[in-house]
Amino acid sequence: DPQERAFQERIDAGDKIEPKDWMPDGYRKNLIRQIGQHAHSEIVGQLPEGNWITRAPTLERKAILLAKVQDEAGHGLYLYCAAETLGVSRDELTRMLLDGKMKYSSIFNYPTLTWADMGAVGWLVDGAAIMNQVPLQRTSYGPYARAMVRICKEESFHQRQGFDIMMKMANGTDAQKKMAQDALNRFWFPSLMMFGPSDKDSVHSAQSMAWRIKMNTNDELRQKFVDQTVPQAEYLGLTVPDPDLRWNDETGQYDFSEPNWDEFFDVISGNGPCNTERLNTRKQAWDDGAWVRDGMLAHAAKRKSQGIAAQ
């Protein structure tokens, strides 16, 4: 197909694809799936942190967490807007999330159980997210790439805040140190899972990489994350919960254990610790909010017709 060839040539040349440009159906479909899933992750991702806003230990920590959660909702907004340029509305995407037809990042199906989890989420989860997102600033689809630029700036700020919480905990009382270690124990492998299954088991990878809507392989990013994070854990005086973790002089990288992929597929398929809670919370919010959305639309329509009548 000459159209497809021309399209691929533009991408190979580093051109940005814009909403009105021709694009293959598969490109559009994959992008919608990927951007939608990313947007949903920002929205659902508010919940594990929201769980601690009302119990934040100081006014400053409460303010920082509120600002972070607000940023995440903002990221969701950018991403839904980027997805809308592909011809799918925010309401359609939301409906697919609530019907279980679209996913969000599995990491948010893990519970936040102590204040140290606010540190671990920032440090590990945002850290892993950034690994994924930084290269996506150069993705081939213009609106997506531009959303990523804005998002990455804020995410790295969040990651530093998370690390700062971990520092305070790791240098705190015995109980705080215990919380910090416990948080690392629970979030380490789920964070590694955030990069997806090993490349050999990954479905869409090759085509997505050719289209530049995926910039690196899952294993590459996971390795990079481990190499970056292990020294940080050491700096904190915490132990990564992997007995087989060790520095490999030959490769110049860390060797580490694979996460339990059975658990990963369990969580993906709905059996994570919080899948039901998270989705029910969002469904409830959507259903409870229906009268508000309807009311605002009705009022806007009245105002509009009054405006027309007055002309």
Partner 1 sequence: MSDGLFQFLLRMGDNTLVLGHRISEWCGQAPGLEEDIALANTALDLIGQTQMWLGYAAEVEGAGRTADDLAFLRDVWDFRNLLMLERPNLDFGHTITRQFFFDAFHVLLLTRLQASSDARVAEIAAKSVKEAAYHLERSADLVIALGDGTDESHQRMQSAVDLLWPFAGEMFAADDVDNAMAAAGIAPDPASLRAEWQRKVDQVMADATLTLPESQFAHQGGKTGRQHTEHLGHMLAQMQWLQRAYPGATW
Q: Which residues bind partner 1 (CB under 8 A)?
A: 43-44, 46-51, 53-63, 66-67, 69-70, 73-74, 76-77, 80, 90, 110-115, 165, 168-169, 172-173, 175-176, 178, 182, 186, 266, 271, 273-274, 276-277, 281-282, 284-285, 288-300, 302
Cβ proximity to partner 1: between 16 and 168 the closer is: 168
Cβ proximity to partner 1: between 66 and 210 the closer is: 66
CB of 274 to partner 1, least distance (A): 7
Cβ proximity to partner 1: between 206 and 297 the closer is: 297
Tell me the longest C-alpha to C-alpha distance in the chain.
78
Hey, how many other C-beta atoms are within 10 angstroms of the C-beta on 174? 7
Indicate the DSSP class of residue 57: S
CB of 149 to partner 1, least distance (A): 19
Cβ proximity to partner 1: between 219 and 263 the closer is: 263
Provide the CA 51 distance to its chain's centre, in angstroms: 17
Provide the CA 227 distance to its chain's centre, in angstroms: 20
Q: How far is CA 108 from CA 176, 229, 273, 290, in A?
A: 23, 20, 9, 25
CB of 85 to partner 1, least distance (A): 17
Cβ proximity to partner 1: between 231 and 270 the closer is: 270
Q: Are 208 and 30 in contact (CB under 8 A)?
A: yes
CB of 228 to partner 1, least distance (A): 25
CB of 84 to partner 1, least distance (A): 12
Backbone angles phi, psi at 198, to 5 degrees: -55, 150
Q: How far is CA 63 from CA 46, 66, 67, 170, in A?
A: 15, 5, 6, 21
Q: Are 120 and 166 in contact (CB under 8 A)?
A: yes
Cβ proximity to partner 1: between 22 and 261 the closer is: 261
CB of 230 to partner 1, least distance (A): 23
Report DSSP letters for 141-208, one per residue: BHHHHHHHHHHHHHHHHHHHHHHHHHHHHHTS-HHHHHHHHHHHHHHHHHHHHTT-S-GGG-SSHHHH
CB of 310 to partner 1, least distance (A): 16
Cβ proximity to partner 1: between 179 and 221 the closer is: 179
